[in-house]
Amino acid sequence: MSSVSTELVLLHPEKVGKLTVPSPHDYVHAATSANTRKAYQADIRHFLQSLRVLPAAAESILDYLHDYATTLNPRTLTRRLTALKQWHILQGHPDPTSHPLVHKTLSGIRNVHGKPKDKAPAITLESLTQMIMHLKKSNRLIDCRNKALLQLGFFGAFRRSEVVTLTWDNIHFVSEGIEILLPRSKTDQAGAGQTCAIPYGDNTLCPVSALLAWQERSQCSTGPIFRQLIRNEQIKASAIKAQHLNIIIKAIARESKLPSANDYSSHSLRRGFATEASKNGAPFGSIMRQGRWRHEGTVLCYIDEGKRFDQNAAGLLLHVKQKEI
């Protein structure tokens, strides 16, 4: 098999368990998440489509960086180099991205062309309430599903990939609310399993009640929870696609008359949970546990965004000045 096809023909880890006799390559492929592998494949293809070959020399990597320094985000170039590094190491070739001049060039590109990362705005409790109240005006099946989807996504701080893979078998109803087992996630590639607990809410926001209402309306108790709907409110057996979540959330935000509705994404729910939980006094460890975050820095960034006006130094000075007046 050629070096190019070795990179591009990769097995999905979820299919490995179905193989009778897994090969050594199957286990190597399963060590990387499907999303990461797809991103790496796209990066390798881009490098090859730029009329370059593999294995590559450091000079070829430098030319590539120079050619795309002004058209690609430095973060994208960094990921491309990571993909190229992994390819060379796994194929047994010297790593051209480790050359000092490559590192220096990439640092220079960051300094000249770097810009803040685009972030989806956090969905606040107020915004979530506005969206749910809008959906409650309707009795459509799709709105019943979306009420449960939004609230579980927010209070469970779920990633997009986790939402679409939730099944009724993962849900355990208890007196306090629900316990949700995630057999596998981004931070649990080995499949040790993680549990997310969500308690009952009130008459305005209650993910547990919304889920029960959806279960009753859909008449489904096995298989995917959030299924696709087609004309005449027919429920399909398959779950909604991950890429459809952003479309759903943007549409509801627009219908709810939220500002900057088209900027929202599925990550707005997860980001919003961390921000709002911190603003309302939730302990840092509790936020980390609920969202199954592995890196404290990510959560600290969300918390900082939610508390920029708490104990704000400029605000304290302004209040002092107002008292003097």
Q: CA–CA distance from 87 to each of 35, 36, 96, 212, 308 (Å)?
A: 16, 13, 11, 47, 42
DSSP state of 315: H
What's residue 10's pLDDT?
41
What's residue 22's pLDDT?
67
**β-strand partners of 227:** 239
State if pTM tops 0.75: no
| Token couple for 276 | 């709002």
* Distance (Å, whole) CA 55 – CA 87: 9
What's residue 13's pLDDT?
42
What's residue 184's pLDDT?
65
What's residue 186's pLDDT?
56
What's residue 17's pLDDT?
46
Domain residues of the chain, as ranges?
3-113, 125-306
* Distance (Å, whole) CA 285 – CA 279: 14
Identify the three-state secondary structure at position 278: helix
Judge if 3-113 and 125-306 fold alike in CATH terms. Answer: no
Q: Domain 125-306 belongs to what topology? A: hpI Integrase; Chain A (1.10.443)
What tens-digit pLDDT sequence spans the chain (325 residues)? 344 444 443 434 444 444 456 666 666 666 677 778 888 999 999 999 999 999 999 999 999 999 999 999 999 999 999 999 999 999 999 999 999 999 999 999 999 998 877 778 899 999 999 999 999 999 999 999 999 999 999 999 999 989 999 999 999 999 999 999 998 655 545 555 789 999 999 999 999 999 999 999 999 999 999 999 987 788 999 999 988 999 999 999 999 999 999 999 999 999 999 999 988 889 999 999 999 988 888 888 887 776 777 777 887 788 775 666 6
Q: Which amino acid is at 223?
A: G
Task: Return the CATH superfamily for domain 3-113.
Answer: Tyrosine recombinase, N-terminal domain (1.10.150.130)
What's residue 306's pLDDT?
67
